[in-house]
Amino acid sequence: MDKIKKVFLTKTIPDCLAKEYGIPFTKFVFEEKTLEELEDDLKKEFQEDYKDEKEIESEIYKKGLKTILYLWKNRLEYQNGSDDIFIQVHDSNQFFSYLQELTSLYSKRKHRTLLDPDNFIRSIWLRMGVEDIKNVETFLRRQIAFIKNESAINEYEEFDKLNDEDILAYRINENEDWFETNKNIVFSIRRTASDISTEDIMNMYFDVKDYDFPAIHFGLVRENDQNTCYLYGVQQLRYGQKDEDIKEYIQPIRKQLRNKHASSNTLIALSLFFDFLYKRGIKDVVIPTMQVFNYSFHEHLSDAFQRDLDKYSEEERNSFEERYNNGDKSNDVLTYKNFKNIADRYINKQDEISYNKSERLINTTIELCERYPVLNITSYPFIEDESMHIKINGEINILNSSKKKRSI
């Protein structure tokens, strides 16, 4: 049995069904012939070990058999017209081949998240949209392209000078998990004093101030003979820098961009990103509006964090907060505060997260397109598919008015 098939049967599906991971049930449907082949391969793979009654292998074998039964059940429900969401595998050879390539590419990446290559494929399905569910092979092929195209962009670059002290830069970050996208990009205005000596620069004896705009979650692929960007979200990272002097400097631009749909910083971030794409010959942008399993996952995540938070009594919580506010930086205090900060991002936030990833992102993009004619909406969501499609016909240069000597 191929390794990837063994992992899928004895690791991926059991993990998706286990409550501890909070992954929504992913109901894969295979052809009858494929299920028979998987069952035969599984028995051959574990026959010798199972006869020897090795405990660990026996448990893995049982997991594989349960998965096979689960997949047969999915097929029966699918044929009987169940209303559940099913991921139909049209070509099993192609499906497992793509999974193998995906795990191989992931394991060779320069930067890796905490997920083991065999583990991360249990969460990749959280990215799926409606069209992806209809064609899982195309979805996997796109994920492979996202990884392959990561090397096409430098991880850090200073690319524009706004004045004597301020430069525009970007950095590419690894996402904390793979539930959204592989990477995000953050554009920043960086400021250094104008009278820094060459010696100071060489020895790093100077301070740099940063003003970070929200992060853009994206992936690059070539589709329909066009270099295309998939844009999945805009998010203010919790560790972003916001220097007050730089904020005051760009305040006139931020005021001009005020609107009821999105923050000025989000519009600036998106506009810088669209210019970034255009300069690299990427003029087609796809903004998926639905990730089918994502809402359910965040419900599970909310419940899990709430259960962990409930392990602290109200008295314990108040004590930790009071100690922290009084300057106590003991390990137990910092551990609690770090956990609490993360929990606050997810507890009862599934509706807000869903809104930010769909309606708010679409409204923000429409706002930007209405302001700058070089952006053309070629298809609104749920016309051709569930995504919004954008054509970039030129640069926006949203910070052009700041390219002058800063007043002191």
b/e 286-311 (16+ beta carbons within 10 angstroms → b): bbbbbbbbbbbbbbbbbbbbeeeeee
Picking from 281, 155, 164, the residue whose alpha carbon sits closest to that of residue 225 is 281
Q: In this structure, is the dihedral angle defined by the CA atoms of residues 220, 226, 232 and 238, taken in order, positive or negative?
A: positive
The span from the CA of 298 to the CA of 305, in Å, is 10
pLDDT of res. 180: 66
Instruction: Identify how many contiguous H helices and E strands the chain contains and give both numbers.
Output: 16, 11
Predicted pLDDT at 226: 93
Amino acid letter for position 298: H
The answer to whether 191 and 161 have CB atoms below 8 angstroms apart is no
Do 228 and 277 form a contact (C-beta atoms < 8 A)?
Answer: no
Name 191's bridge partners.
166, 209
Where in the chain are the domains? 3-149, 153-290+358-402, 294-353
- Measure the CA–CA gap between 54 and 66, rounded to whole angstroms: 18
Whole-angstrom CA distances from 376 to 371, 380, 386 are: 11, 11, 17
**Can you list the positions of beta strands (E) in 245-402?**
284-288, 375-379, 387-392
Report the C-alpha gap between 364 and 4 in whole angstroms. Answer: 41
How far is it, in rounded angstroms, from Cα 365 to Cα 324? Answer: 40
H or E segment at 160? strand 156-161
* Strands 375-379 and 387-392, bridge-based pairing: antiparallel
149's tokens: 């195209």
On whether the CB atoms of residues 198 and 180 are closer than 8 A, the answer is no
Is 364 within 8 Å of 266 (Cβ atoms)? yes
Question: Could you list the mean pLDDT of each consecutive 10-residue stretch along the chain, which spans 408 residues?
Answer: 88 82 81 94 73 59 89 93 91 95 83 63 85 94 92 89 90 75 90 57 62 94 93 82 88 87 90 96 92 77 88 93 92 91 86 74 91 94 86 93 47
* Alpha helical stretches, state H, 108-224: 130-134, 136-148, 198-203
Q: Where are the alpha helices (DSSP H) in 52-190?
A: 55-79, 92-107, 130-134, 136-148
| pLDDT score recorded for residue 199 | 53
Predicted local distance difference test score (pLDDT) of residue 167: 92
How far is the C-alpha of 18 from the C-alpha of 252, rounded, in Å?
52
Q: Considering the entire predicted model, what is its pTM?
A: 0.82
CA 142 – CA 224 distance, rounded (Å)? 12
**Alpha carbon separation from 69 to 8, 14, 64, 75, 302 (Å, rounded):** 14, 12, 9, 10, 30
Identify whether the C-beta of residue 9 lies closer than 8 Å to the C-beta of residue 42. Answer: yes
Our CA angle for 153, 157, 160, nearest 5°, is 120
Q: Taking the alpha carbons of 137, 138, 140, 145 in that order, is the dihedral positive or negative?
A: positive
